[in-house]
Amino acid sequence: MIKLTLQTVDEIKTINGVSFPKDVDLHKLIISGPPGSGKTTILKSIRGWPEEGYLDLSSKNWWKSPNLAHKPRELHFGLPFKGYQHAVPVYDIQSLDHFSYLELDLFRILLPQPKQNFLSADFRSKMIFEFNLLAPEKLFALRKKRAEQASHHIDNNLTLEQIEEEVSLYNTLALFFHQSGMNVYVRDELGGLPKRILDDEKQTSVNESYRKNLYQLHDQLKLRQRILNRSWSVRGNNELLELFVRLLPGALNVERCNIFLSDQNQKKVWLLCGTALSGKQVVASQIRPLVKKVIESGASIIEENMQQEAHAEVNNSFVLHNTLLAPIRSVMEDKTTGVIQLLNKKGKECFNDEDQLLLEKVALHLQLAMENIYLRKEMMDFSEILSHKAEQNMGWIKILSGVLLLLLAASLWGNAHQAGLSLMDVLKMLP
């Protein structure tokens, strides 16, 4: 879990019993954090906007959202996760997958550009973020107590591990905002003093010009992520994988097939698609170690006599008897990028060497097909880069167009004045 290094703000002011940094303007204040961390209590004390709001941080121009028209207010942030198209708040991450298989996708979190010139809007200066980040143990105790009142359904069936993940996600988000130059402070106790996030010595010595260069680099990395998402999207471009999932059970005489993707650098694995999953990305607990073992070893595995419930469905349960897993190797690098899994050989038969050899061949062709998908998308990538450049230059184009229009109007007005024409006549002459 990511932990923040904090230091109490030196100069504070007190408003209705609540401490704030001295320079905080309440009309810019946005309070966020995990459920039950004291956000509503603070808002009531300072007579802020009474309703909770929601804001998807991966949506375009979220800083222009009507939800930000009324401040101070409390907001739940929608966070994007790798492998999933739609952002979700931290209390709903279990709808995607078990939290241990989820990774926050920082590259998809959009931020307003820093003020570039005297004519550009400065949206960053209009927002101050307070993150309420209590210790997981304290927050867990508070929410367990609140659950007894049955006032919030999200407090049902809570675990300390879930709370730790929610706090860790918000710690990551607060640090990301801080390092990106947003105005951020943290409150780690109920009714406690506001605190600033401390950087290490190298980060503290970074000057403003370097920070701008860092932001531009981050912007370029987000562009690369947009290209990758466009080239390979879990929701949009997985038709090929779904075809394999539909064909393999009949071809190899098995009940089901699953395909997993792996990121060894981040140590994350998720179920991309599978038979009879209805689009839900779920992984049974006894399957996870097998998938990880294949990824780590790069070798196929056959497991027999498992006799365990693998997938709980609406009307019945699928019982896992045996399984065969084969690695999907990378063409460009010496690593495993995914796993194909077959479940339950029909007729109570066992998987054999012939099944393993055939599945390994399928894995090889699947990886080659994935490489071909990337190549076919290059023209789309080039289009994405051009669009990105056009967005960056559009501001200057508008400014130059406005200046030229003013010069043209002034020139026309001077000539029209000498000719005795009216203002309306001049306006009709403009393009």
In SS3 terms, 167-226 reads as HHHHHHHHHHHHHCCCCEEEECCCCCCCEEECCCHHHHCCCHHHHHHHHHHHHHHHHHHH
DSSP β-bridge partners for residue 261: 270, 338
pLDDT of residue 286: 57
pLDDT of residue 206: 42
Report d(CA 349, CA 38) in Å as an integer.
57
Indicate the pTM of the whole model: 0.54
pLDDT of residue 281: 46
Classify the C-alpha dihedral 130-136-140-141 as positive or negative. Answer: negative
The full set of domains in the chain, from first to last, is 6-209 (3.40.50), 232-373 (3.30.450.40), 383-429 (no CATH)
Q: What is the CA radius of gyration of the chain?
A: 28
- Tens-level pLDDT at each residue, the chain (431 residues): 678 999 999 999 999 999 999 999 999 999 999 999 999 999 999 999 988 899 999 999 999 999 999 999 999 999 999 878 889 999 998 888 887 778 888 888 999 988 877 777 889 999 999 999 999 999 999 999 998 888 888 888 889 999 999 999 999 999 999 999 999 999 999 989 999 999 765 444 444 454 555 555 555 555 555 555 544 444 444 677 788 888 889 888 999 999 887 765 556 777 878 887 644 444 455 577 888 899 889 999 999 988 655 444 434 567 888 999 999 887 667 788 889 999 999 988 999 999 999 999 888 887 766 555 544 544 455 555 555 555 555 556 666 766 677 776 666 656 655 655 555 554 555 55
pLDDT of residue 315: 40
From the list 357, 365, 296, the residue with the least C-alpha distance to 342 is 357
Asked whether 181 and 212 are in contact (CB, 8 A), the reply is no
Q: Residue with structure tokens 């190899």?
A: 252
SS3 327: strand
